[in-house]
Amino acid sequence: MSAASGLSMAAIGQRLEALVAAPAAAADADELLRLGEEALEHWIRAKGKEPTREEREGFRLLALHRQGADKDPSFNACRETCRELAYHYNLLGQQPDHPDTAQRARMMALVANHLYLFISGKMESQQLGEFCCSSRPVRERVDSGTQAQ
C-alpha cells in the first residue's frame, strides 16, 4: 500500500501540522495513510521489533497497529483512530467526487495527526511510564515482595 520514506517522528509531526493547516484535498489521502504507518513503525522499532509488511483488512496500517499493541494493551487506545484513518482513506478513494470530499480530507488529516500525537506522547514518556501514569520507575523500585500481592 505504501513504502516507508524514513521520516523522523519530528518530521512526521511537522508534515502533519502542515497538512492540517492547508486546504485539504483527496490527493492527500495516500500521504496521510503513509504518515500514520510511519508513526507506527517508529513505535514498533522503539519496542525493538521489525515493523511487519503484512496487511490486515487490506491495510498495513491495521497490521502495524496490531503489532504495536502486542503485549501492550494500552496501545489499543489508538485502535479506533487507526480504523478511522483507514475508513477515511476508503471514503476519499472510493468517492473522490463526493461533495464532502474537502471535509473528509480535513478530517482524515486531523485523525492522522491524532494518531501521531498519541504515539509521540507515548514514546516521549516511554522511559517514565507504560501508558497513563509516569510510574514505571516507581513500580520497578517497589519490589514485588513489598506489594499487596
Partner 1 sequence: MSDKKTKYKEVAYYPGCALEGSGHAYNRSTKALGKALGLKLKEVENWNCCGAMEVKNIDPKLQTYLSSRVMSIAANKMKMDVVMAPCNGCYHNLKKTEYELSHDEKSREVVDRLSQKAGHETYQAGQVETIHALDWIKDTIGEDGLRQRVKNSLKGIKIANYYGCMYTRPRHIFPEKDQGPGSESTSKPHFMDDLLEAAGAENVDFPLKTACCGGAHTLSDSDTSTRLVANILQAAEAAGAEVIATECPTCHSGLEMHQIRAEKTLGLKTSVKIIYFTQLLGMAMGLKPKAVGLHENVSDSFAFVKQKGLA
Query: Would you say 8 or 103 has its CB closer to partner 1?
Result: 103
| d(C-alpha 38, C-alpha 60), whole Å | 11
- Using the rule CB under 8 A, is 11 a contact of partner 1? no
C-alpha cell at position 130: 507504560
User: What 3-state class would DSSP assign to 82?
Assistant: helix
Query: Considering only residues 12-41, where is the footprint of partner 1 by CB under 8 A?
Result: 20
Applying the rule CB under 8 A, the residues between 37 and 96 that interact with partner 1 are 73, 76-81, 83-84, 87-88
According to the binding rule CB under 8 A, does residue 139 interact with partner 1?
Answer: yes
**SS3 call for 51:** coil
Whether residue 89 contacts residue 107, with contact meaning beta carbons closer than 8 Å, is answered with: no
Is 113 one of the binding residues for partner 1 (CB under 8 A)?
A: yes
The alpha carbon of residue 124 and the mean position of all alpha carbons in its chain are separated, in whole angstroms, by 14
Output the smallest distance, CB 50 to partner 1, in A. 26
CA distance 42 to 7: 9
CB closer to partner 1, 3 vs 103:
103
Out of 54, 90, 95, 121, the only residue in the binding site for partner 1 (CB under 8 A) is 121
Are 40 and 60 in contact by the 8 Å Cβ rule? The answer is no
* Site for partner 1, rule CB under 8 A: 20, 73, 76-81, 83-84, 87-88, 103, 106-107, 110-111, 113-114, 117-118, 120-121, 124-125, 128-135, 138-139, 142, 147-149
